Structure formats: structure tokens, C-alpha cells
């Protein structure tokens, strides 16, 4: 590990010189690439330098203990040595976390698809609740929410809703939401007060650029139609809604939230590229996956990841056996405790796998 840290620090110093080179600055693309690499390394280098400072202090303290000291001074040095040794262990663990492979998609914007599952109208209503939950969480982070396609339900909520959240690090937080979300509560339409169980499926995709995925437009078929609102009410008098079919995979994307046909086409293509990227990533993952699977992961779409129990006021994330008695604040966008726990568990699993 420390040989690797030495190499990283040398590379960091080399890049520090290069980004101040006038010839490099003149090449904007190369300069931006080096600045990103420099930024990615800075936290590791800073922590490694702190490690070396603490290790040096420990060495100096041990030398002092070998000298002729009075009992009071010797006690002080021993206390400092104990404190520094504990700190060194903490920093070493932090360095191990910093050196874990990073998800290349973490800094990207995210496309989220929420679809009603089992439970009919109640499922659609809960899909709307999850959309608002994610919207409030994004708002608290200062991120932007943009609708891409909606299919409202007559009873309220959505049969399906697709939206993008734009902001640095959005994918790194939302990627853990992918999977089946289960809700247990008494629906507004339930006259006998019985608790119903419904499900909603959430799919989370990183937004990808054209350089990330090769898309042959000859493989794409576009159909246009008139957008319609809740209950079939016409909300557009022109054929602005777009249905995009990717012929090789059979993926179908519909976008109708923009009045412009061109803008709906652009949004449909964004969703398609993200789906194709996800398919390729899953294929690569399956090819290199080890026999041991991560216990946390991000949750497959057919996997129940979380239960929202309204009568008992609790939310349980089944991947980490975390139960929180604060359903109201969670539904209002307070997701950090859940997401932080998932991240910590995933890091612990990666460290454990690496040690084995």
C-alpha cells in the first residue's frame, strides 16, 4: 500500500508542475484532464502526508524515551506516543478507504425511473411519494430536478415517471436507490382500515455522454404522437410527443413533457444512451464478477431493498438491516443516514474482500 502511496505522491508533484506549464495551459483539453487527476489525488496525498508526519512524531517520541528523562517527562512522552499511535491507525484505515476503486460514474448526473408495481392505485400514489422524496433530497443538496416523462394515474401519483437530477455527485448518492421499494399502509380508498402492501420499482442510471456509448442512429426508430394529460385530456395540439425504439435491444422510450418535438427527442436519446451504457456495464460486471457477491450492492430491480411501514412509523433498509423510526422525515427527503450507512457497509465489504 505504501509503495502505491509513494507513486501517487510522485505523480501528484509531477502534475502540479505540469498544470503551471504555459504550453499545457494553452492546451485546454489536456489541462482540464490533468486538473481533474490532480483534484482526484489531492485528498489521498494530503492524508498520506499527515500519516508521514504522525509516524515521524512517533519515531521522535521513541527516541526521547531512550534518553535520560525524569519520571514526569517520561510519562508525558508515553502519553503522546500512545495518542499518536492511535491516530496513526486511524489515518491508515482512512488511507485504505481512499485507495478503494472509485465508481467512474459517481460524479455524473442521474436519471431515475419510478414505476408502480403490485398494488394498483396505491402503488401509483406511492410512486408519487417517492418522486417527491427524491425531489426534496435533491433540493436540499442544491441539485436540479428535470422531468423527462410522466404517466399520471387517475387516482393520483404516477404509473411511471422518469426524471433527471443534475448536480456533482448525484449518482454517488442515488445509485443505492435502485430496487423494489415496499410500502405498508392503509390506503385512502380503504373503507375498512386494512393495511395494504404495495411495491414500486426504482431504476437509477448515470447520465452518459456520447463518448461513453456508441449509438448508431440507423438503429433508432422515432414515432411522434400527441401528448396527453391525466385522464386522456389533450394538452397539446401538435404531434410533439416522441416514442423512440432501439431496434437491436427492443428498448422503447417515450417523452412528452416538452412542447417541442426536438427537445423530447433529445431527452429520449439521453435516456436511451444511459440504458445502453447500463446494459454494457452489467455485461462487463457479469464477466468479471467473483464468486463472492457484495452483501450491500445497489439492489437489483427485482430485489426488495426497503420497506416503508406507516402504521409503525418506521423505514427498514433490508440490505444493511437498518431500521429508523422516522418515516415522516425520510419521506420528506431526509435520506442521508440511510445512504451513509449503505456507503459505509459497501466500503467495509470492499476492504474485507481486498484483505481476503
Task: Name the average pLDDT for the chain.
Answer: 83
Q: Quick one: average pLDDT of 322-331?
A: 96
Per-residue confidence band for 284, with pLDDT thresholds at 50, 70 and 90: low
At 298, give phi and psi (nearest 5°). -110, -5
Report in angstroms the alpha-carbon separations of 237 from 189, 234, 347. 34, 7, 52
Report in angstroms the alpha-carbon separations of 3 from 6, 10, 48, 59. 5, 11, 11, 20
Cβ proximity of 64 and 79 under 8 Å:
no
Residue that wins the pLDDT comparison between 191 and 182: 182
Residues 218-232: pLDDT tens digits? 888 888 877 665 444
Distance in angstroms (rounded) separating the CA atoms of residues 122 and 185: 9
Cβ proximity of 157 and 127 under 8 Å:
yes
Place of cell 491507525: 89
Residues 188-207: pLDDT tens digits? 767 677 888 999 999 898 88
Q: What is the pLDDT of residue 353?
A: 67
pLDDT at 235 > cutoff 60: no
**Domains in the chain, ordered, with CATH?**
2-98 (no CATH), 110-288+299-348 (3.30.70.1660)
Q: What is the pLDDT of residue 286?
A: 59
**Percentage above 70 pLDDT, the chain:** 87
Torsion of CA 98, 104, 109, 115, to 10 degrees: -100
Amino acid at each position: 500500500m505504501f509503495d502505491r502511496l509513494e507513486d501517487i505522491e510522485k505523480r501528484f508533484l509531477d502534475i502540479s508542475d505540469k498544470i503551471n506549464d504555459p504550453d499545457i495551459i494553452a492546451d485546454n483539453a489536456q489541462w482540464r484532464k490533468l486538473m481533474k487527476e490532480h483534484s482526484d489525488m489531492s485528498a489521498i496525498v494530503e492524508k498520506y502526508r499527515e500519516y508521514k508526519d504522525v509516524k515521524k512524531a512517533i519515531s521522535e517520541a521513541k527516541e526521547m524515551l531512550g534518553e535520560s528523562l525524569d519520571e514526569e517527562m517520561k510519562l508525558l512522552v508515553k502519553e503522546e506516543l500512545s495518542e499518536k499511535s492511535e491516530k496513526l491507525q486511524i489515518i491508515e484505515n482512512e488511507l485504505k478507504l481512499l485507495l478503494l476503486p472509485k465508481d467512474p460514474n459517481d460524479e455524473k448526473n442521474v436519471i431515475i425511473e419510478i414505476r408502480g408495481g403490485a398494488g394498483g392505485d396505491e402503488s401509483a400514489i406511492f410512486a408519487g411519494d417517492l418522486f417527491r422524496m427524491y425531489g426534496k433530497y435533491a433540493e436540499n443538496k442544491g441539485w436540479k430536478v428535470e422531468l423527462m416523462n410522466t404517466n399520471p394515474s387517475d387516482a393520483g401519483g404516477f404509473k411511471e415517471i422518469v426524471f433527471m437530477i443534475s448536480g456533482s455527485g448525484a449518482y454517488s448518492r442515488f445509485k443505492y436507490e435502485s430496487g423494489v421499494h415496499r410500502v405498508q399502509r392503509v390506503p385512502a380508498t380503504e373503507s375498512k382500515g386494512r393495511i395494504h402492501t404495495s411495491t414500486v420499482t426504482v431504476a437509477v442510471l448515470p447520465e452518459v455522454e456520447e463518448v461513453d456509448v456508441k449509438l448508431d442512429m440507423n438503429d433508432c426508430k422515432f414515432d411522434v404522437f400527441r401528448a396527453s394529460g391525466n385522464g386522456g385530456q389533450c394538452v397539446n395540439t401538435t404531434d410533439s410527443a416522441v416514442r423512440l425504439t432501439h431496434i437491436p435491444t427492443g428498448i422503447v422510450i417515450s417523452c412528452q413533457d416538452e412542447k417541442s418535438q426536438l427537445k423530447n427527442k433529445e431527452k429520449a436519446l439521453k435516456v436511451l444512451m444511459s440504458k445502453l451504457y447500463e446494459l454494457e456495464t452489467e455485461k462487463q460486471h457479469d464477466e468479471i464478477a467473483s464468486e463472492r457477491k457484495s452483501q450491500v450492492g445497489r439492489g437489483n430491480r427485482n430485489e426488495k431493498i426497503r420497506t416503508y411501514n406507516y402504521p409503525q412509523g418506521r423505514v427498514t433498509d433490508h440490505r444493511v438491516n437498518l431500521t429508523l423510526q422516522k418515516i415522516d422525515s425520510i419521506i420528506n427527503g431526509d435520506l442521508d443516514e440511510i445512504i451513509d450507512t449503505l456507503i459505509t457497509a459497501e466500503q467495509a465489504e470492499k476492504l474485507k474482500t481486498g484483505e481476503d
